[in-house]
Amino acid sequence: MNNPNYNPFHQTTFLTSAAQLKQCPEDDGREVAFAGRSNAGKSSAINAISQQKKLAKTSKTPGRTQLLNFFEVKSKDTRIVDLPGYGFAKVPLAQKKKWEQFIDEYLRNRESLYGLFLIMDIRHPLTDFDNMIIHWTNQCQLATHILLTKSDKMKFGPAKAVLLKVSKALAQYPHVSAQLFSATDHRGVDVARERLATWLQLPE
């Protein structure tokens, strides 16, 4: 972006939540979704990109919330979507199946969905959950950008090695890209913010 101090997401606000596809906002404009395991740092990533501490709220019971949360960026036609975190065995199987069906319907049928940010803890990348999401986005030909979060937990060399390993493993998917990210020391936050702004066609 031309102005390094400009953040188009700083005024982002909560719009609505949806438990079913029919409860989502009007399917027009453009939106980008965020997905990730409950402990991968998805809410922290959204908050770091928007420079808001409490935009995306965390739950003390991971996997509990089964709602899509929509955030309005510039107008109702430009949105960030926070998909419910998942990945804990304590979630009942029936709830897991219901969640998977809902997300599958959303990824396949949401016309305004332009791309997806997939959040992975750099210490535990490419889990079964991650691969499931990549499988979905591959079938939908949906642009996917991976944030390897908590990269501050590693020295740069080992963190870079994980990034290269993940990129190599996903080389078969031309729609997938990846980067290092840390909400703690802000590593990669500007890069992620610029990618998100480009996908949402926000002015520089």
Domain parsing of the chain, residue ranges: 13-199
Res. 58: pLDDT tops 80: no
Res. 1: pLDDT tops 50: no
* Section 9-33 average pLDDT: 94
> 179: buried, middle or exposed (CB in 10 Å: 19+, 13-18, 0-12)?
middle
Cα angle vertex 172, ends 195, 83, to 5°?
45
Q: What is the pLDDT of residues 70-104, one digit of tens each?
A: 999 988 899 999 998 876 656 778 877 888 888 89
Query: Which pTM value belongs to this model?
Result: 0.92
Of the pLDDT bands very low, low, confident and very high (cuts 50, 70, 90), residue 67 is: confident
Residue 2 pLDDT:
54
Q: Mind giving me the DSSP string for 85-132?
A: PB--TTS-HHHHHHHHHHHHHHHHH-TTEEEEEEEEETTS-S-HHHHH
What is the rounded CA–CA span in Å between residue 160 and residue 58?
28
What is the rounded CA–CA span in Å between residue 125 and residue 95?
24
Give me the amino acid identity at 96.
K
Residue 89 pLDDT:
56
What is the rounded CA–CA span in Å between residue 67 and residue 159?
32
Mean pLDDT of the chain: 90
Higher pLDDT, 61 or 57: 57
Res. 62: pLDDT tops 80: no
* Section 8-36 average pLDDT: 94
Give me the amino acid identity at 200.
L
Provide the CA 183 distance to its chain's centre, in angstroms: 14
Q: What is the pLDDT of residues 119-177, one digit of tens each?
A: 999 999 999 889 999 999 999 999 999 999 999 999 999 999 999 999 999 999 999 99
What is the rounded CA–CA span in Å between residue 196 and residue 145?
9
13-199 folds as Rossmann fold (3.40.50)
